[in-house]
Amino acid sequence: MDILLNASAVDWARGQFALTAGYHWLFIPLTIGLALIMSIMESIYVRTGDEKWKNISRFWQKIFGINFAIGIATGIILEFQFGTNWSNYSWFVGDIFGAPLAIEGIVAFFLEATFVTVMFFGWDRVSKGVHLLSTWMVFVGGLLSALWILVANAWMQYPVGMEFNPDTVRNEMVDFWAVALSPVAINKFLHTVMASLAVGASFVVGVSAWYILKKRHIDFALQSIKIASIVGIFSFLMLAYTGDGSAYQVAQKQPMKLAAMEGLYEGTEGAGLVAFGVLNHKKVAFDDDNTPYILKFEIPKLLSLLGYRDFNAYVPGIRDIIEGGYTLPDGTVALSFEEKKKRGEIAINALADYQDAKLQEKEAMLAGDNAKVTALSADAANYENILRENYAHFGYGYLESGKDIIPHVPLTFYTFHIMVMIGMYFILFFLVVIYFLYKKNLHKTKWLLYVALWSIPLTYISGLCGWVVSEMGRQPWTIQDILPVNIAVSGVSVGHIITTFVIFAIIFTALLTAMITIMVKQIKKGPEPLNFDVELKND
């Protein structure tokens, strides 16, 4: 309790944002995943004219609708928090960060919302083709919405396509396509969408398995599992592929995050990838007495391959990144934290000197002192050049010591490895499901049906772990190397943030409880009766 009461406004603001984002992620992936699955199901209905596929589609659309409606509320609150708790951040980068969010709201969200109406209320009111188009457009709208949100998030991880304006003290976009097509953004989008499809697939398979165990709607369940299992194995294989891309991007752009993900304190050539490990909680960056691991199983040289496409590449550890001095892939020498801090301080002071020179220049202009105006203009230009030369390390000027750039290593390490292990589990799981489908005896394999049912939460856990790695692994930065969290926060009192934190926690928990209750009731009710009440014969 004392820790909570003594936490700073920054800690509470981060906690509130994490709370909102965590709840938001419980709703969004199922929305995207179900959107694709029900679109495929309705496509089969339109192509074959088989009414059972219409009923299958309508059932999963009801589940989609419950989840979609509640997901909107958390998303809106999440965006409002940039203005309430992170106003300095919003001012500093709003010209860039706000653009993709505006596109998401104006284009993607309205596109999705428009076609959702047709999808839910257009059955038997519009033609089959128009209704099918609306269903697919709901999926496309969800993808576009995810794209622009992830473009904004990726820019925080890898800021490109911008210039800093010392007159307004704001970062301004100069290359929209550099922001939108950033390699980090594209990979993050693909990885997140695949994670969402994975949630949808495992959910459909798990719920369908429950129907089979209850000996209800057997044909409905088996047909649903066929579609979902194909989506599932595709999504998890793609997650492995895009995960490899993520590792490469992190190694190039955020080496400290990679070091935390692997618990790597000392750099090495031909670094191995830890498949399983238990960290030594006593280990600190500059401690030579304690080993990083109590126990670990390592795949030799795989980390070097994933991060740098070279089995023998040098992978810097936490200590190396702080001390610098190692050779970077481009041939330059890595700067130490102290060198980056010095450059950051130079940039901050140059900004202050620039603003002071510009203010004096205006005063001299009003006084008609042309000679002084010329001299001050030259001084301002010189300060601006110094600022731009050192701006890449601007944020380091606000930090105290090298330990400030180390993220929470145990949390980053364990969530990363949990995410990977769950992903490998589901690849095997869906291969087994497809095998028993092929053998036409899935409905007889009770152990697998129970595994499918109880595996539903695992995809949610994996997705949340992925976001923890992404966001905790880049701490202390809101904008990588440019703006630390302690500078980005608003001047809101701790008491106000705690109050809203508690309110949001109660509201979000109530919404989640309501969603689960309504969803469970709808699942128990089952699909509309048609030809689904097929009972299995006793063997």
Q: Please tell me which of 78-87, 282-291, 494-503 the model is most confident about, judged by mean pLDDT.
A: 494-503
Going from the C-alpha of 329 to that of each of 60, 310, 314, 521, the distances in angstroms are: 49, 11, 9, 56
pLDDT for residue 130 is more than 70: yes
Residue 413 has pLDDT above 60, yes or no: yes
Q: Looking at 4-13, 130-139, 249-258, 334-343, which range is the least confident one?
A: 4-13
Q: What is the pTM of this model?
A: 0.91
Q: Which residue has the tokens 């050539």?
A: 269
Position 41 confidence tier, pLDDT thresholds 50, 70, 90: very high
Q: Please give the Cα distance from 71 to 75 (Å, whole number).
A: 6
Please give the pLDDT value at position 435: 95
User: 68: alpha, beta or left, given left = phi > 0 and alpha = psi -120 to 50?
Assistant: alpha
Contacts for 135-139 with beta carbons within 8 Å, 24 or more apart? 135/35, 135/38, 135/39, 135/42, 135/57, 135/61, 136/39, 136/43, 137/111, 137/112, 138/35, 138/39, 138/112, 139/32, 139/35, 139/36, 139/39
325 Rama sector, left if φ>0, alpha if ψ -120 to 50, beta otherwise = left
Report d(CA 203, CA 455) in Å as an integer. 8
**DSSP letters along 83-137, please?**
HHT-HHHHHHHHHHHHHHHHHIIIIIIHHHHHHHHHHHH-TTTS-HHHHHHHHHH
Residue 539 has pLDDT above 80, yes or no: no
Domain boundaries, the chain: 2-254+407-525, 264-323, 337-398
| Cβ–Cβ < 8 Å for 20, 74 | yes
CB under 8 Å to 168, separation ≥6 — which residues?
A: none
Weakest-pLDDT range from 81-85, 183-187, 376-380: 81-85
The encoded tokens of residue 90 equal 């919003």
Mean pLDDT, residues 143-162 taken together: 93
What confidence tens digit (pLDDT) does each residue in 365-399 have? Answer: 988 888 888 998 999 999 999 999 999 999 999 99
207 vs 20, more confident: 207
Overall size of the chain counted in residues: 539
Which pairing describes strands 293-299 and 170-173: parallel, antiparallel, or unpaired? unpaired
Per the prediction, the chain carries an average pLDDT of: 90
The DSSP bridge partners found for residue 163 are: 172
pLDDT at 98 (0 to 100): 86
